[in-house]
Amino acid sequence: MSTLRITPPLQIHHHQHKPHNLGFSSKPPSSNQKPTSYSSWIEQLRSHTRSNNFHEAISVYIDMTTAGHHPDNFAFPALLKAVTEIQDFNLGEQIHGAVIKHGYDASSVTVANTVLNFYGKCGGLDDVLKVFDKITERDKVSWNTLIGSLCRLEEWELALDMFRRMQFEQVEPNSFTLVSMSVACSNLETRRGVMLGKQVHAYALRIGESMSFVYNSLMSMYAKLGRINDSVSIFELFASKNMVSWNTMISSLSQKDNFEDAMAVFRVMILEGVKPDGVTLSSVLPACSHLELLEHGKEIHAYALRHTNLIENSYVCSALVDMYCNCREVTNGFRVFDGLVHRKRVLR
């Protein structure tokens, strides 16, 4: 097994640290098999969507309507997911029209939520707010979809307002809400972002939130707001670290020029048997570059060479070139660059 052996063991801020099968077919029915009943049309459409065959799902929808059948409250969510994934705004609007025509915008909150998600990813602010306002029986998914959409549209203040309104209407925020809120706070003016971010963090602690992606998001928020110590505190106390946790910590430290600590976290990661990926390497190599740790950089290069997906990663290669040039090994830098250019030509 390929291993990295970056030594010695390090300290962070000078502290020593020691499918379940549900019976669904994974293969959609053949597009050549014409459905013989309404239920088989619906199942074929949903099966294609489950398999991420979004264009095929839309083809089934077209054939289905041509044959005189129309989607129901089970099929519309799958269909809307397909048009959302392929970013077809015009077709999505047509399907939204069909949803309204058949009354599912009012009778099914699940369908209404998928319409909202479609506009949140393919439309604009006005579209999102209009659809949300027309949902009469909003559930937690409705609020999370709205707030997530507002964050995607970079409407940070409005996202915070809707978070307050959600609580006023006695809908309990969950992990998805908190992730969106941490993203919103990280994009505010620093002092206000820290103040509101700490409230989001306190809320997560109060409800006993333990999902790793919530704490990864809080770590990223604190780091972006310049509160590296708060970010490190979450990292060190968080028992269930995953790849995103390690990468968030290393990239946050590196981006804030805390290169020695970034290397420290990287070494601990290796010692704990976690295999670095492209994000890890492209985040830790700048630390090697600025600290002129050429041997460590070469060791990381050797590791990347043993893993095709890493050495073909343009971000990793760019970081390697920068590291070699900064460590006055320009020839090796050119070799990495030339290797990447050659691979791209072969792939063409």
Per the rule left: phi > 0, alpha: psi between -120 and 50, beta: everything else, 265 is alpha
Q: What is the pLDDT of residue 29?
A: 46
String of b and e for 114-133 (b: at least 16 CB within 10 Å)? bbbbbbbbbbeeebbbebbe
Q: End-to-end alpha-carbon separation of the chain, Å? A: 32
pLDDT tops 70 at residue 18? no
- Confidence check: pLDDT of 1 > 50: no
Beta bridge partners of residue 15, listed in sequence order: 12
Quote the percentage of the chain above a pLDDT of 70. 87
pLDDT of 344 reads 56
Q: If we measure between CA atoms, which residue out of 71, 23, 20 comes closest to residue 45?
A: 71
Give the mean model confidence (pLDDT) for residues 158-163: 97
Contacts from 85-88 at CB under 8 Å and sequence distance 24+? 85/52, 85/54, 86/54, 86/55, 86/58, 87/121, 87/122, 88/58, 88/122
Return the closest-CA partner of residue 141 out of 164, 183, 112, 182. 112
Domain with CATH 1.25.40 in the chain: 35-137, 241-348
**pLDDT over threshold 50, residue 7:** no
Q: What pTM did the predictor assign?
A: 0.80
What pLDDT, on the 0 to 100 scale, is given for residue 57? 92
Mean pLDDT to the nearest integer, 116-137: 95
Per-residue pLDDT tens digits for 180-237: 999 999 999 999 999 999 999 999 998 887 788 899 999 999 999 999 999 999 999 8
pLDDT of 11 strictly over 50 = no
Higher pLDDT, 251 or 70: 251
pLDDT at 340: 75
pLDDT for residue 16: 39
Rounded to 5°, angle at Cα 122 from 111 and 152: 100
* CATH class held by domain 35-137: mainly alpha
Q: What percent of the chain has pLDDT over 90?
A: 70
267-325 pLDDT per residue, tens: 999 999 999 999 999 999 999 999 999 999 999 999 999 998 898 899 999 999 999 99
* pLDDT tens-place string over residues 59-93: 998 898 888 888 888 889 999 999 999 999 999 99
**Comparing C-alpha atoms, which of 96, 68, 66 is closest to residue 80?**
96
- The answer to whether residues 297 and 327 touch, using CB atoms and an 8 Å cutoff, is yes
Mean pLDDT across the chain: 87
pLDDT number for residue 22: 31
Averaged pLDDT, 248-262:
94
Nearest partner of 56 among 79, 38, 25, judged by Cα: 79
pLDDT at site 192: 97
Band (pLDDT 50/70/90 cuts) for residue 105 is confident
Q: Which fold has domain 241-348?
A: 1.25.40
